[in-house]
Amino acid sequence: MTISDLKSQGLLLFEATTGSRAYGTDLPSSDHDRRGIFVLPKAQFYGLTELPQVSDERNDNVYYELRRFFDLLAKNNPNMLELLAMPEDCVLHRHPLFERIKPELFLSKLCRQTFAGYAISQIQKARGLNKKIVNPVALERKSILDFCFVVQGQGSVPLLRWLAVRGLEQERCGLVNIPHFRDAYSLFYDETGGLGFRGVQHKAASNDVVLSSIPKGMEPIGTMSFNKDGYQVYCKDYRDYWDWVEARNPERYANTVSHGKNYDAKNMLHTFRLLDMAEEIARYGEIRVRRPNREFLLKIRAGEFEYEELLGWAEEKIANIESLFEASGLPEAPDMGSIEAVLAAVRERWYGLD
């Protein structure tokens, strides 16, 4: 079933333009995202069909079946709660039965986690993005040899430099563990190439140094340390960075770089929007979708504030929200019995059973 099918078969209970156009933070280039609620035909509902939601290819337009909608509302999902308080200029279709679904049936202290908690996760995401932008990882991948060092005097020098100065090759090296000395090795060298030493790195893709069998009585030419922990951290950072590069939205990244503040400005806009909405729910017990501070939010999106400045404000808001929810008269969680009763009443009325 497609969105067109839902409309042509008269299955829509509600439909609205959502996202930035509902929040009042839209720009001329903003998308026209839509969300809707539909009710399965009676025969399909009582049959084996399960269809929790229908969406287009890009997920810009998503429509939820009534049961799925109530399930998400009961969990205080922000996107679903917003549909109960849409600005009138964003409502495209509202069946009279939709009026039975009231925000007060669902609002609870769970919003502290779903609104403010999600905003906190966005802050953490912003920190990670900032780290990636400020500390890019070179495409050419380092090997374990870049994390090996040889003792020299009272310090150490990189193995590759130490070998190059002496005209030595890592493939002719042989390593032996030094007892009770973590990741440290006696370093031997095969001048003739006939001793069968395995080198420091046996294969290009190796993730650890390799040991060799050393003739008895042979003297080492040095002591080498392999920073294995540093290498493992590097491998993770390399993988995370280039996975992010492959998956990132080019247009959004270009915007992030263009304002020169090294954070995802759109991400931070939504962080503050969610925190403001959480505060309003705790303070007033209301969902306010259209944002009164449009200009401030658009300044965030334009990159007019410093990254650390925004994080400081967000952390202050989070502390205040925690206090407001502690003192709030909202229930700890919605009353599931009341929710199920309204769900049943709406569906029965839709199917003409009451």
Q: pLDDT tens digit string along 11-37? A: 999 999 999 999 999 988 888 899 999
For residue 87, what is the DSSP state? -
Give the chain's residues under pLDDT 50: 257
Euclidean distance between CA atoms 217 and 237, whole angstroms: 42
pLDDT of residue 172: 96
Whether 229 maps to a domain, the answer reads: yes
* Spacing of C-alpha 50 from chain mean position: 29
Q: Which of 233, 263, 285 is the last residue of a domain?
A: 233
pLDDT of residue 178: 95
Whether 238 maps to a domain, the answer reads: no
Contacts of 264 (CB under 8 A, 6+ apart): 125, 126, 129, 252, 256
How many residues in the chain?
A: 354
Whether 239 maps to a domain, the answer reads: no
pLDDT of residue 268: 86
One domain for residues 80 and 132: no
- The answer to whether 260 and 179 have CB atoms below 8 angstroms apart is no
Q: Which of 209, 233, 257 is the last residue of a domain?
A: 233
- Three-state SS for 247? helix
One domain for residues 101 and 158: no
What's the number of domains the chain is made of? 3
One domain for residues 257 and 299: yes
Contacts of 116 (CB under 8 A, 6+ apart): 274, 275, 278, 318, 321, 322
One domain for residues 129 and 253: yes
One domain for residues 3 and 101: yes
Euclidean distance between CA atoms 14 and 38, whole angstroms: 7
The closest alpha carbon to 178, from 206, 220, 148, 229, belongs to 220
pLDDT of residue 174: 97
pLDDT of residue 131: 59
Whether 73 maps to a domain, the answer reads: yes
One domain for residues 68 and 165: no
pLDDT of residue 252: 52
Q: Based on the number of CB atoms within 10 Å of its own CB, is 327 exposed (0-12), middle (13-18) or buried (19 or more)?
A: exposed
Other C-beta atoms within 10 Å of 75: how many?
16
One domain for residues 68 and 96: yes
Euclidean distance between CA atoms 80 and 62, whole angstroms: 11
pLDDT of residue 112: 93
One domain for residues 338 and 325: no
pTM of the model: 0.67
One domain for residues 161 and 227: yes
One domain for residues 207 and 301: no
- 179 phi and psi angles, rounded to 5 deg: -55, 140
Euclidean distance between CA atoms 175 and 200, whole angstroms: 7
Half-sphere exposure at residue 81, Cβ-oriented, CA atoms within 13 angstroms: 25
CATH number of the CATH domain containing 9? 3.30.460
Euclidean distance between CA atoms 157 and 146, whole angstroms: 11
Whether 120 maps to a domain, the answer reads: yes
Position 264, amino acid: D
In SS3 terms, 255-266 reads as HHHHCCCCCCHH
Residue 71's domain comprises 1-106+334-354
Return the residue matching tokens 């799925």: 68
Whether 53 maps to a domain, the answer reads: yes
